[in-house]
Amino acid sequence: MAECVRLDSSTSTHTMDKSITLPPDEIFRNLENAKRFAIDIGGSLTKLAYYSTVQHKVAKVRSFDHSAKEASSDKLYEISVQEEVTARLHFIKFENAYIETCLDFIRDHLVNTETKVIKATGGGAHKFKELIERKLGLKVDKEDEMTCLIKGCNFVLRNIPHEAFVYAKHADSEFRFQTTQPDIFPYLLVNIGSGVSIVKVESEDKFERIGGSSIGGGTFWGLGALLTKTKRFDELLQLASKGQHTSVDMLVKDIYGGSYGSLGLTGDLIASSFGKSATANKEFSQEDMAKSLLHMISNDIGQLACLYAKLHNLSRVYFGGFFIRGHPVTMHTITYSINFFTKGEVQALFLRHEGYLGAIGAFLKGAEEDNPNQYSWGENYAGSSGLMSVSPEMNPMQRARSGTFDMLEMDRLERKLVNLPLLQDPSSYIPDTVDLIEDALAREYWLYCFEDALDGVVKRAVASQPDMPEAAERAEKFRQKYRHKLQTLRQQPFAYGSLTVRSLLDTREHCLNEFNFPDPYSKIKQKENDMALKYYQKAVKSLDELSWEERQFALVRGVLAGNVFDWGAKAVSDVLESDPEFGFAQAKQQLEERPWLIDSFDRWFERLKGPPHRCALFFVDNSGVDIILGVMPFVRELLSRGTEVVLASNSGPALNDVTNGELQILTERIAAMDPVIQAGLSEDRLTLVQSGSSSPCLDLSRLDKVLANVVRERKTDLVIIEGMGRAIHTNYYAMLSCESLKMAVIKNSWLADRLGGKLFSVVFKYEVPDGQPSQDSAAS
């Protein structure tokens, strides 16, 4: 959320004047490259949407042609930083009072726009039509409000994980974010504006208004203004939050002296809204009347929504509209009503970006020629303000403060993302092991941990660009932005959906990219890859000299030892910084002896005595020793057994994780000195595929569609997940429909203690799904 400041007080006669500075790098970002606009104007808020092309730096690797003596050194590949253009959607929400100033700002900063039309929706689109056309020189093309709303809702549900949440006022975690469903349809959308519209949505283009009511937000506002003399909607809610409805409402116990047992009615149930006002000879407070009114309207809407949900057999009911607007008071009363009338069978669901639905839908209508739904999109945490608390108790002035803007940015992803086909139940899959919103101790530790690591990240970012004198300045801006994000999450852990170690890591990567540090660890990875390659043949030779039984354990121990080399873990990075000679042998010595913290090795060993797997999907982790001396010998053994192997690596950089571009070069080099790897490649039994991720963690519900197709085509029956980020922070409890192997070394003392282990404890988790016939007695 950005607050704007006055530019020229002489242009206005009052204190909160409308002449404000709108820094483009904070609010209307990248406006000079805006290509298409849409606007949704409501009764009090305007939501602007536009599409832009964003230039940012990406790190690319290119193999040296060693046969041609192209390289003057022994380096395997060169690193170059290149400019790349990607698409971004911007959504900005601000008060209608500032619409003229904002339109002036947009007009003054438009440079490359090709559009001649602005799509518009909302009740204010007609009112401001002439102003928009005059200011921007664009023709206003009005779109149907409900169509835009539905399109916007479908878009956020499909593209933003943890978009929907249940609100539980008295729980430790008020916001309980829901897992994105593979199929978002059908659902019921209850849009509470001035009145209420209830819409059944069955597909992308099929929806029907099945009911509604004239008693909605306008009723609450209008009657509230008559009862309290308060004209502002948010002030009315603030009054309601402080009131006691029991002073005004007649309860069951007021009539019957207690509960009405034969009808199942508790004594505290409202029997008559405002029932006491007709008989009591006293004045009622504005707060109590506002609270009674809020309950009356909410209960009526809740019952209506429940009846339609039951009539149409729908279990997902989303609530939106200006009556909701993220207000805890309204969300609580709606939730209570739904729980009461359905006895908990239907949940009231709210949306993080509910206020943007109309603008998103209007934009999508204008962008149909580009077919934006053919792509996957991801929220850019660096440019989004998140779900801010609007609780009147926490910050009474927040909604009333002028010049306040909310932002949402969505980046178009290069790859279409889908579920891993081997998830046992995609609808119940939760990637993250710990929800930091619910676990306050873990939240405090990890927020401290990420802030404590910030100096090291800044130092690494600057060191990665020694030839760029302005790198230090950009790194300092990164520090400030990421620290601000951490401070926001301390106060409002729910700001970006579920708060997890994964989301903290991803936010950091987004902020690094924001300030053109695409791959701070590129040179470290290059150096470690070059070094590890020199020892590959020796490592393979020593493994080949072992007996079959000894080799299976040595291979697993090699993967685990390689996984120690993780620059994302402070305990390891401190060692690697202070002791450059720390190597593979020393890493093996750091591993705990068996029995490990989680130890399924004996079952895995017995499984290896059975028939080979058809195909193994291996999600790899770090560059250098990890991939070259740990993973590749393990892959080599699988190939020798007759198992096909698919190596899935990151599409983009994250910490010192190996990327697909780097892995392609490394594998070619290894193949040149290893006939087993060479044969695997030439016979198409070893395949390298992008995961679609640029994160140190792994979300199996958002993987490259190409990878998912390969998994199906190869009839994959073994999934191997390596590393602390992918196998412990995420996917520790992931249930797959085939055999799985999760391997990691715990390189964080606090996490190790949480799991009952110690630093460098080992997790080796071999799992066979229930009901799958085992290949051996030990694994059954």
Q: What is the CATH number of the domain that holds 461?
A: 1.20.1700.10
Directed axis angle between helix 233-242 and helix 217-228, to 10°?
70
Asked whether the predicted pLDDT for residue 398 surpasses 80, the reply is no
| pLDDT of the residue at 6 | 34
Statement to judge: residues 456 and 584 lie in one domain: no
Asked whether the predicted pLDDT for residue 772 surpasses 80, the reply is no
Statement to judge: residues 719 and 736 lie in one domain: yes
CATH number at residue 112: 3.30.420
Using DSSP's 3-state secondary structure scheme, residue 238 falls into: helix
Statement to judge: residues 441 and 404 lie in one domain: no
Widest Cα–Cα separation across the chain: 100
Contacts of 563 (CB under 8 A, 6+ apart): 621, 622, 626, 630, 722, 723, 724, 743, 744, 745
The tokens for 141 are 């093309």
Kindly report, residue by residue over 77-95, the tens digit of the pLDDT: 888 778 888 899 999 988 8
H or E stretch covering 644: strand 644-649
Statement to judge: residues 603 and 708 lie in one domain: yes
| pLDDT of the residue at 25 | 52
Supply the pTM of this predicted model: 0.89
Q: Residue 561: phi, psi to the nearest 5? A: -65, -40
User: Cβ-count burial of 371 within 10 angstroms (0-12 exposed, 13-18 middle, 19+ buried)?
Assistant: exposed
CB 418 within 8 A of CB 180: no
CB 91 within 8 A of CB 352: no
The tokens for 71 are 């390289």
Statement to judge: residues 217 and 241 lie in one domain: yes
Cβ count near 10 (within 10 Å): 8
pLDDT band at 345 (very low <50, low <70, confident <90, very high): confident
For range 155-184, the mean pLDDT: 88
What total number of domains does the chain contain? 4
Interstrand relation of 703-704 and 417-418 (parallel, antiparallel or unpaired): antiparallel
For range 500-516, the mean pLDDT: 96
Q: Which spans in 327-470 are helix H?
A: 328-342, 357-366, 440-452, 454-463
pLDDT band at 575 (very low <50, low <70, confident <90, very high): low
H or E stretch covering 95: strand 77-95
CATH number at residue 568: 3.40.50.10880
The parent domain of residue 29 ranges over 24-63+75-159+358-413
The tokens for 259 are 């509960």
Does residue 336 belong to any structural domain of this protein?
A: yes
Interstrand relation of 598-599 and 762-767 (parallel, antiparallel or unpaired): parallel
| Cα 198 to Cα 209: distance, rounded to the nearest angstrom | 6
Statement to judge: residues 538 and 459 lie in one domain: no
Statement to judge: residues 543 and 665 lie in one domain: yes
Statement to judge: residues 381 and 471 lie in one domain: no
Statement to judge: residues 572 and 708 lie in one domain: yes
| pLDDT of the residue at 262 | 83
Does residue 17 belong to any structural domain of this protein?
A: no
Does residue 14 belong to any structural domain of this protein?
A: no
Statement to judge: residues 487 and 542 lie in one domain: no
| pLDDT of the residue at 566 | 76
CATH number at residue 207: 3.30.420.40
Cβ count near 317 (within 10 Å): 22
Looking at 459, 488, 515, the residue that finishes a domain is 515
Does residue 18 belong to any structural domain of this protein?
A: no
Contacts of 771 (CB under 8 A, 6+ apart): none
Does residue 4 belong to any structural domain of this protein?
A: no
| pLDDT of the residue at 17 | 38
